């Protein structure tokens, strides 16, 4: 595969997008960028900076502070750094998950990260997953996929991931969070979650990552 190829994977939360994006990036020797992690990083920045609390949000102050926000991916480890700090685990905390959709709906945030995402692709080819990669970020991507799965399966995957990280949370809390995120992602005015017209839709509810990977490679190599 050409080293400057772009593979876009969109879809709902916890459908396996990041897992498959990583597998494809390793298989084709392309960079992997988790766009959802970028939005989580900005959300964490807003929370830790005091711009965002449960019943308070200073959007103007957050926008002014964006110039102080430096995000970096480490290609070898795939760790995400915020102003020099490895935040790869912190961005998965429930308090970040509770607010990330609200932050992602802000036009100024999407514009800020859109520039960074496209800059990453200019440097090398990549595999990127998110909500609007094939529709907004890279509408001319070489390959586009859209992942779905039933909410209960997705919640179970996310719940087990969080429990394995030592977090105290119930399955119902995870399920309700996913349902809320779905509504927010689909209903927002700016770059809503939707399948690109030329994307291949894949339901991951009852298949393993290896099965999905084999199918994706077959489709990519045949194009």
pLDDT tens per residue across span 157-196: 999 988 998 888 999 999 999 999 899 889 888 888 999 9
Residues of the chain with pLDDT > 90, as a percent, come to 67
Residue 169 and residue 176 in contact, taking contact as beta carbons nearer than 8 Å? no
Quick one: pLDDT at residue 122? 64
All structural domains of the chain with their residue ranges: 6-213
User: How far is the CA of 22 from the CAs of 44, 54, 142, 200, 212, in angstroms?
Assistant: 23, 33, 17, 18, 13
pLDDT digits (tens, 9 = 90+) for 103-150: 988 999 989 998 888 877 666 689 999 889 999 999 999 999 999 999
130, with CB counted inside 10 A (0-12, 13-18, 19+), is buried
For residue 16, the model assigns a pLDDT of 95
Task: Judge whether residue 1 has pLDDT over 70.
Answer: no
The answer to whether 173 and 94 are in contact (CB under 8 A) is yes
**Contact between 113 and 38 (Cβ < 8 Å):** yes
Task: Determine contact, residues 33/169, Cβ cutoff 8 Å.
Answer: no
Nearest Cα to 36, choosing from 2, 59, 64, 13?
13
Whether the CB-CB separation of 217 and 49 falls below 8 Å is answered with no
Give residue 123's pLDDT.
63
CA 17 – CA 208 distance, rounded (Å): 12
Least Cα distance to 24 among 5, 49, 40 occurs for 5
Question: Torsion-angle region of residue 73: left (phi > 0), alpha (psi -120 to 50) or beta?
Answer: beta
Tens-place pLDDT, residues 76-96: 787 899 999 999 999 988 899
β-pair partners for 9: 129, 145
Q: Which pLDDT belongs to residue 101?
A: 84
CATH 3.40.50.300 is held by the domain 6-213:
yes
For the chain, give the mean pLDDT: 91
């Amino acid at each position: 595969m050409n080293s400057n190829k772009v593979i876009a994977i969109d879809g709902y939360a916890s459908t396996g997008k990041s897992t498959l994006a990583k597998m494809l990036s390793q298989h084709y020797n392309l960079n992997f960028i988790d766009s959802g992690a970028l939005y989580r990083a900005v959300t964490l920045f807003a929370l830790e900076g005091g711009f965002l609390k449960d019943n308070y949000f200073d959007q103007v102050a957050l926008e002014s502070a964006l110039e102080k926000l430096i995000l970096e991916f480490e290609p070898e480890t795939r760790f995400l750094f915020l102003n020099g700090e490895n935040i790869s685990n912190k961005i998965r905390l429930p308090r970040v998950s509770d607010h990330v959709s609200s932050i992602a709906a802000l036009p100024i945030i999407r514009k800020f990260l859109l520039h960074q995402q496209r800059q990453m692709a200019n440097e090398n080819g990549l595999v990127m997953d998110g909500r609007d990669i094939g529709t907004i970020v890279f509408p001319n991507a070489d390959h586009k996929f859209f992942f779905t799965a039933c909410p209960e399966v997705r919640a179970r995957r996310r719940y087990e991931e969080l429990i394995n990280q030592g977090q105290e949370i119930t399955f119902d809390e995870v399920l309700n969070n996913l349902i809320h995120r779905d509504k927010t992602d689909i209903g927002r005015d700016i770059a809503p979650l939707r399948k690109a017209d030329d994307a291949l839709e894949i339901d991951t509810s009852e298949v393993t990552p290896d099965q999905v990977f084999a199918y994706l490679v077959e489709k990519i190599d045949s194009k």
